[in-house]
């Protein structure tokens, strides 16, 4: 599965089969998170499965099944970190998707006291990502939750501003915007707007209000880069918002 196919296949999985991950998958996830956070001040800890029966407690109204393995995304308490958590955490989500596992970004609907990983001074637990086997079919309640949230999907034109309409902008921009809409964002707000002017593309956060949009920004930048590269425009975003897209080579 290519990264682009993982973007297409991923959903926020809110139902988990009660079947622990095998040691090989755990090793693979641990090696990958180590590689992702090397040289940063982030700690992505893969917890579980369930030593002594400890489990991640997710809010029952939203989730079903037992989660015995999850990633705890830990780092300093500032917006540049929140953006990095989004960019690198979404790499982990896409990796899990490629491994055939279910995952879900969770910032709010879980019991923080059920996370046993100790925090150092200056560190906070930003998000958790349950990682597990999915049931063959998501139950009705979980499908209804997702459908309700996805009703808020923005149209591509709402995520774009420019000197020409989106349909007349380079095709890699429309591809990037589509991949951002397919991505996860907190309460599906999709807060990043892309501005194309003077042959320069900028990622902006016009309605910033509660810091989580910086995690959404990191996720959106990753999805955009993957789709733009698949459409023939490899490049990378500068940090922050507004940020410029820098084509490679």
Q: Using CB under 6 A as the criterion, which residues of the chain lie in contact with ligand FMN when the complex forms? A: 11-12, 62, 104-109, 127, 146, 149-150, 184-188, 212, 215-216, 219
CA distance 16 to 193: 33
Considering beta carbons, is residue 107 or 234 the nearer one to ligand FMN?
Answer: 107
The distance of closest approach from Cβ of residue 193 to ligand FMN in the complex, given in angstroms and rounded to an integer, is 17
Considering beta carbons, is residue 33 or 188 the nearer one to ligand FMN?
Answer: 188
Considering beta carbons, is residue 186 or 203 the nearer one to ligand FMN?
Answer: 186
C-beta neighbour count of 134 within 10 angstroms: 17
Q: Which residue is nearest to ligand FMN (CB)?
A: 184
The distance of closest approach from Cβ of residue 89 to ligand FMN in the complex, given in angstroms and rounded to an integer, is 8
The distance of closest approach from Cβ of residue 54 to ligand FMN in the complex, given in angstroms and rounded to an integer, is 20
Considering beta carbons, is residue 12 or 69 the nearer one to ligand FMN?
Answer: 12
Considering beta carbons, is residue 25 or 138 the nearer one to ligand FMN?
Answer: 138
The distance of closest approach from Cβ of residue 63 to ligand FMN in the complex, given in angstroms and rounded to an integer, is 7
The distance of closest approach from Cβ of residue 83 to ligand FMN in the complex, given in angstroms and rounded to an integer, is 11
């Amino acid at each position: 599965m290519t990264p682009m196919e993982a973007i297409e296949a991923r959903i926020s999985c809110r139902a988990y089969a009660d079947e622990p991950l095998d040691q090989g998958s755990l090793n693979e996830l641990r090696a990958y998170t180590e590689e992702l956070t090397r040289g940063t001040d982030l700690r992505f800890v893969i917890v579980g499965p369930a030593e002594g029966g400890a489990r991640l407690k997710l809010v029952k109204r939203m989730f079903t099944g037992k989660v015995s393995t999850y990633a705890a995304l830990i780092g300093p308490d500032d917006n540049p970190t929140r953006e990095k958590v989004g960019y690198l955490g979404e790499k982990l989500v896409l990796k899990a998707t490629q491994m055939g596992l279910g995952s879900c970004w969770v910032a709010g609907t879980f019991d923080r006291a059920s996370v046993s990983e100790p925090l150092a001074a200056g560190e906070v637990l930003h998000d958790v990502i349950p990682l597990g086997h999915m049931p063959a079919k998501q139950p009705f309640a979980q499908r209804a939750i997702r459908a309700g949230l996805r009703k808020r999907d923005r149209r591509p034109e709402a995520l774009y501003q420019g000197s020409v309409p989106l349909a007349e902008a380079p095709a890699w921009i429309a591809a990037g915007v589509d991949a951002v809409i397919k991505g996860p964002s907190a309460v599906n707000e999709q807060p990043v707007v892309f501005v194309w002017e003077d042959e320069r593309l900028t990622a902006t956060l016009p309605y910033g209000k509660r810091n989580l949009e910086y995690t959404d920004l990191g996720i959106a930048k990753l999805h955009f880069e993957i789709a733009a590269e698949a459409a023939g425009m490899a490049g990378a975003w500068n940090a922050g918002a507004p940020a410029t897209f820098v084509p490679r080579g």
